């Protein structure tokens, strides 16, 4: 059984406590349960982690690269939170590992403040998902499974 790594970045541990109009009312625990259920539907396991620290996310992407190369990991669903808009380190980590990463945002970042319109991760990500609320996590997992079955873009 292969694993899908679900990484949530800074402040996503606050999900469900504030800003429900933007991020919904589900907690991070709800999101992680949703991810585990969707992964199981595809015969995979979801390994869900959250950190407020950029370096920790970099280390986990490196680990994902090793596990992808070993054939035990399908890929990563990454909501890097605000680091999306600032982090060259996360860009380099994704580029340096070759692991398929789906960049995910709960909100439609392009309909929000201009500083959220630029992503350092999108050029390195395999695909981008934004604006579907927390349902986007399940959609991203399904997309990752599909990509892993048909590795050529657009197929
Ligand atoms: O839409 C997304 O998923 C974001 O990645 C969320 C980030 C934001 O900086 C990105 O621009 C878009 C922020 C996550 C903070 O989440 C909170 C949830 C509840 C209360 C406070 C923060």
Condensed to tens digits (0 to 9), the pLDDT of residues 79-126 reads: 999 999 999 999 999 999 999 999 999 999 999 999 999 999 999 999
pTM of the predicted structure, to 2 decimals = 0.96
d(CA 132, CA 139): 9
11 CA to centre of ligand 1 in angstroms:
7
Residues 6+ apart with CB under 8 A from 106: 22, 23, 24, 79, 132, 133, 134, 136
Residue 17 alpha carbon to ligand 1 centre in Å: 12
The pocket around ligand 1, CB under 6 angstroms, is made up of: 11-12, 14-15, 17-19, 23, 79, 81-82, 84, 105-107, 109, 116
Calculate the average pLDDT of the chain.
96
């Amino acid at each position: 059984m292969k694993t899908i790594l679900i990484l949530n970045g800074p402040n996503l541990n606050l999900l469900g406590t504030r800003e429900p109009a933007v991020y919904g009312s589900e907690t991070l625990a709800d999101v992680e349960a949703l991810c585990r259920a969707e992964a199981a539907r595809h015969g995979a396991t979801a390994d869900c982690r959250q950190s407020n620290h950029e370096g920790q996310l970099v280390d986990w992407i490196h680990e994902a690269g090793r596990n992808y190369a070993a054939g035990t990991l399908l890929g990563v669903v990454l909501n890097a939170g605000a680091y999306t808009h600032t982090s060259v380190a996360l860009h380099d980590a994704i580029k340096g590992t070759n692991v398929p990463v789906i960049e995910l945002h709960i909100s439609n970042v392009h309909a929000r403040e201009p500083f959220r319109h630029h992503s350092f991760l999108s050029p390195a990500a395999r695909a981008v998902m934004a604006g579907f609320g927390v349902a986007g996590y399940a959609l991203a997992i399904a997309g990752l499974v599909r990509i892993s079955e048909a590795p050529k873009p657009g197929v």
